[in-house]
Copies of this chain bind each other. A is one copy, B any other.
Amino acid sequence: MAEVVVRPMNGGNGHYSYSKNSAFQRNAIEAAKELINKGIAEELDISTFTSSKTFKIADLGCSVGPNTLLAVQNIIDAVEHKFHSQKESNNIACDVPEFQVFFNDQASNDFNQLFTSLPPQTQYFAAGVPGSFHGRLFPNASLHFVHTSCAAQWLSRVPPEVLDKRSPAWNKGRVHYSNSSSEVIKAFEAQYAKDLDNFLKLRAQEIVHGGLMALILPGRPNGTPHSEAYINKAFELVESSLIDMAKKGRISYEKLDSFNIPIYYASLQEVESVVKRNGSFSLEIMENLPHEKPQPKVMSVTLRAGLEGTIKEHFGDEILDELFDLLLYKKLEEASSVIESCDSVCLFVLLKLIPNEQKRVYAACTG
């Protein structure tokens, strides 16, 4: 069976571009700003960075548009502030370092758009790094701060069993897990735990000891069932729109059954449990941030900017207008009162890489 191919956010600058339809994701970055400042102020030990004169930041799954630049600027401002205040309080020579920023996304991301949208005078050296964050992207111990926002909910693949007719976890007639059988949900949970663990292992190789990583993820509150989280409700409407199209004969049931959206929305508890089992990072900050629920029109275009590439790859591009602009938009409007009652949260986790010699001690403490 053909794999579902994940495509990046919509490129360019047009009506359905991610660049113009990412207020939802921007909101997450802005909500996280204060916590990133706090994390850098309290957790960044700048004495470990003064030997290497360049402070290196990576934004994983950066996509294109204003969000990308905003997130990086927040981090640089906070690091500069830390250096300045350290200098004043200790009266020691710790000059603000040079910054190098690596913007990462899949090779098919619109890097041309990203590069031409960089301000002519940045206070950092910019680079683009093509490739999936489910694989290695950077040399050993070469990054000081990794940031990833609204990206690590994308799985490395659709769990194979949900596309397997012989499996009890077969997600027949559906493309999302939140309203499916417990077998389907377990398959997605397990894939997510595996992918996040692998993600942490990879980043543990790439980040310097004492380096920080901020994970920002749309998610669900601890204890809230999958089907009652706002973001899953929205995805169920994408699913229901696709089912309508199959009923109308616009897409075949075979196509529908061979597709699932490779995305999973975790709770803080789940992230915490993977991080602790993984053992490479200490959890410094962990919070649910409130997250906006956009108007139906905005949400339908936001979902289109993010999912269009992946859906087009599987179903072809002739269904996109009907799917998103007609069906999904209508369903989002109809469901607005249900949606209003759901919690929309954004998970914020700040991690710090534990030096190898401390790992065993930490593991003993956190069980």
**A257 on the B face (CB < 8 A):** no
**A100 on the B face (CB < 8 A):** yes
**A53 on the B face (CB < 8 A):** yes
- A129-B125 contact given A108-B116, A111-B115, A118-B107, CB 8 Å threshold: yes
Whether A115 contacts B126 by the Cβ 8 Å rule is: no
Chain B's closest residue to A117 (CB) is B107
Chain B residues near A110 (CB-CB < 8 A): 112
**A49 on the B face (CB < 8 A):** no
Whether A129 contacts B129 by the Cβ 8 Å rule is: no
Nearest chain B CB to A247 CB, angstrom units: 37
Chain B residues near A136 (CB-CB < 8 A): 125
Whether A125 contacts B107 by the Cβ 8 Å rule is: no
Chain B's closest residue to A56 (CB) is B139
Whether A140 contacts B107 by the Cβ 8 Å rule is: no
- A116-B125 contact given A98-B140, A141-B53, CB 8 Å threshold: no
Interface size on A, residues (CB 8 A): 27
Chain B residues near A116 (CB-CB < 8 A): 107-108, 130
What mask results when residues 14 to 58 of chain A are scored 1 for a CB within 8 Å of chain B, else 0?
000000000000000000000000000000000000000110000
**A142 on the B face (CB < 8 A):** yes
Whether A126 contacts B125 by the Cβ 8 Å rule is: no
- A128-B127 contact given A140-B53, A141-B53, CB 8 Å threshold: yes
Chain B residues near A137 (CB-CB < 8 A): 125
Q: Which of B53, B54, B129, B140 contacts A127 (CB 8 A)?
A: B129
Which residues of A, 99-139, contact B by the 8 Å Cβ criterion? 100, 102, 107-108, 110-112, 115-116, 118, 125-131, 136-139
- A115-B125 contact given A54-B142, A100-B139, CB 8 Å threshold: no
Nearest chain B CB to A130 CB, angstrom units: 4
Chain B residues near A130 (CB-CB < 8 A): 115-116, 118, 126, 128
Rounded to whole angstroms, the CA-CA distance of A13 and B116 in the bound complex is 20
Nearest chain B CB to A96 CB, angstrom units: 13
Chain B residues near A131 (CB-CB < 8 A): 126
Whether A115 contacts B128 by the Cβ 8 Å rule is: yes
Chain B's closest residue to A108 (CB) is B116
Rounded to whole angstroms, the CA-CA distance of A128 and B130 in the bound complex is 8
Chain B residues near A139 (CB-CB < 8 A): 53-54, 98, 100, 125
> Interface of A with B (CB < 8 Å)?
53-54, 98, 100, 102, 107-108, 110-112, 115-116, 118, 125-131, 136-142
18 additional A-B residue pairs with CB within 8 Å, beyond A100-B142, A107-B115, A118-B130: A98-B139, A98-B140, A102-B127, A107-B116, A107-B118, A108-B115, A108-B116, A111-B111, A111-B112, A111-B115, A111-B128, A115-B130, A125-B129, A125-B137, A126-B129, A127-B128, A127-B129, A128-B129
Closest 8 CB pairs of A and B: A115-B130, A54-B139, A128-B128, A127-B127, A107-B115, A98-B139, A111-B111, A112-B112
